[in-house]
Amino acid sequence: MLPSQQMSRAILAFIFGLLLAAQPKPLNWAEIDKETLQHFSALVQINSTDPGGSEKPVVDYLKSVLDKERIESKVFTRTNLADPSRVRPNIVARLKGNGKKKPLLIVGHTDTVNIDAKKWTHGPFSAHREGGHIYGRGTVDDKDNLTATLMSILLLKRQGLPLDRDVIFLAEAGEEGATSIGIAFLVSEHFPDIEAEYCLAEGGSAVRQGGKLKYVSIQTTEKIPRGVKLIASGVAGHGSVPLRTNPVTHIAKAVAKVSEWQPPMRLNDTTRTYFERLAAMSSPEEKERYNGLLIPEKTDAIQEYFAVYEPRHNSMIRTSVSPNIIQAGYRFNVIPSEAEASLDIRALPDEDMTKFYETLKSVINDPVIRLVPQSGSARPAAPSSALNNEAFRAIETVAKRHYDGVPVLPAMSTGATDMAFLRAKGVQCYGVGPAIDSEDGPKGFGAHSDQERILESSLYQFVKFHHDLVVELAGAK
């Protein structure tokens, strides 16, 4: 061999070596499933209920896993609290990209709703495996997303994939009703640490019916809780002498009028696309219904059908009002001087609430009734996340790859999530989640129920989907 040939061989070998080094390490999914189960079980076994438990041991666990992997993390804890003995930390970690694009934020929440231990067949913190399911509080809200988020950041680090953008891991506290120590605190005090172009968090799922995948639901916007109290005042008196001013009568009439009223239907980009895509995959009868929603001569009957048979759809097409508490009186023979009703209003993201309350007043049409907006759990209103950007296209591509090519439906959730705070800061947020049997919720196995559970196989599938999506959105192109 000529020296020049030897030389070029050496160069080739060197280049080949470089190419090999640039290749991501192949993943051993059987091993990853085992590791997923280990982290998931450990996280479910920690009592992080609110009230009753604490997010601190979850953060300690996550920190130790990240430390072991040499992923630097920061813990942010709000300190100026009424009860300083309750430490409720949030944890953030970042994998650096080359800065070509703005960061991707991946989020899970560490708290869960509380439990009534007596009602659980399998212990709420057992992570008990039976019949293909894993049982425990938080298995589908939100320790599934928390685990997928953790696995994604671990795998990305191990693979050493070059990234076009930073990937930020966030495990946040207080999602279930204490946002002031979680997302609201992070957004107001530490926003540069979590600022991102896109965010993936809870709120979506792959929907199965009869054990078959039907569609993948991606949350792109949500309704905003805007409760009000109706208060009627009158003169107290003896029950033997009925009064026209009796506040109980006024409140009862007001609640009845509100219940009979349907605020006007209004679709947005998300719900319009949702019904179009749902129609395309439905039976002829359902298809006619979903497509007829915007046809003037059909819409009233369809909306009435929704109100009776598809109440979630009825809520998705309008700002909804549900009277949930009535309080009045304390003694059989006393006419009380005050009565009140609490209305749970879930507003469309673009609702003008000042105008809405005015309309509500005119519907009630009773000068005795005062309307007092409740600000307790206020979440900010924000525009929907886009359906025509890089992120949503990537979600569609990757979802089809992992979920048998079923349609991807953008969805507006009727409940609230912490994404409202991020969307209000301009982050385009998408709610994702594992495959869920739609029959599970009504049977008492859903989120917040007494037998919360997840399909074990769907947890593993979700971790693969999540990882693939993060690589698609952040991997160097």
Cβ closest to Zn ion, residue 105 vs residue 155: 105
Q: Is 142 in the site for Zn ion (CB under 5 A)?
A: yes
Find the part of the chain contacting Zn ion (CB under 5 A) among 74-82, 142-150, 284-292, 395-403: 142-150
Say if CB 460 and CB 466 are below 8 A apart.
no
Find the part of the chain contacting Zn ion (CB under 5 A) among 135-143, 330-338, 398-406, 454-462: 135-143
To Zn ion, the closest distance from the beta carbon of 64 in angstroms equals: 24
Cβ closest to Zn ion, residue 139 vs residue 384: 139
Whole-angstrom distance, CA of residue 34 vs CA of residue 236: 67
Binding residues among 263-322 for Zn ion as defined by CB under 5 A: none
Strand 205-209 and strand 435-437: the pairing is parallel
To Zn ion, the closest distance from the beta carbon of 239 in angstroms equals: 46
Q: Is 144 in the site for Zn ion (CB under 5 A)?
A: no
The size of the chain, in residues, is 477
Whole-angstrom distance, CA of residue 151 vs CA of residue 424: 28
Find the part of the chain contacting Zn ion (CB under 5 A) among 76-84, 138-146, 159-167, 314-322: 138-146
Q: Is 141 in the site for Zn ion (CB under 5 A)?
A: yes
Find the part of the chain contacting Zn ion (CB under 5 A) among 140-148, 184-192, 285-293, 319-327: 140-148
Cβ closest to Zn ion, residue 202 vs residue 440: 202
Cβ closest to Zn ion, residue 110 vs residue 314: 110
To Zn ion, the closest distance from the beta carbon of 178 in angstroms equals: 12
Binding residues among 328-387 for Zn ion as defined by CB under 5 A: none
- β-bridge mates for residue 430, sequence order: 200
Whole-angstrom distance, CA of residue 462 vs CA of residue 474: 18
Q: Which amino acid is at 283?
A: S
Taking the alpha carbons at both ends of the chain, their separation in whole angstroms is 39
The residue among 180, 184, 174 whose CA lies nearest residue 53 is 174
To Zn ion, the closest distance from the beta carbon of 113 in angstroms equals: 9
To Zn ion, the closest distance from the beta carbon of 93 in angstroms equals: 20
To Zn ion, the closest distance from the beta carbon of 220 in angstroms equals: 17
Q: How many CA atoms, within 13 angstroms, populate the side-chain half-sphere of residue 70?
A: 3
**SS3 letters across 263-290:** CCCCCCHHHHHHHHHHHHCCCHHHHHHH
CA max distance for the chain: 118
Question: How many residues lie near Zn ion (CB under 5 A)?
Answer: 3
Cβ closest to Zn ion, residue 349 vs residue 446: 446
- β-bridge mates for residue 428, sequence order: 198
To Zn ion, the closest distance from the beta carbon of 440 in angstroms equals: 16
Find the part of the chain contacting Zn ion (CB under 5 A) among 189-197, 200-208, 284-292, 307-315: 200-208
Binding residues among 160-189 for Zn ion as defined by CB under 5 A: none
Cα dihedral sign for 19, 21, 22, 28? Answer: positive
- Residue 316 has which token pair? 């998705």
Say if CB 437 and CB 211 are below 8 A apart.
yes
Cβ closest to Zn ion, residue 201 vs residue 228: 201
Can the peptide bond before residue 51 be classed as cis, meaning omega within 30 degrees of 0? yes
Find the part of the chain contacting Zn ion (CB under 5 A) among 139-147, 190-198, 371-379, 456-464: 139-147
- Residue 105 has which token pair? 């934020």
Q: Which residues of this chain interact with Zn ion, rule CB under 5 A?
A: 141-142, 202
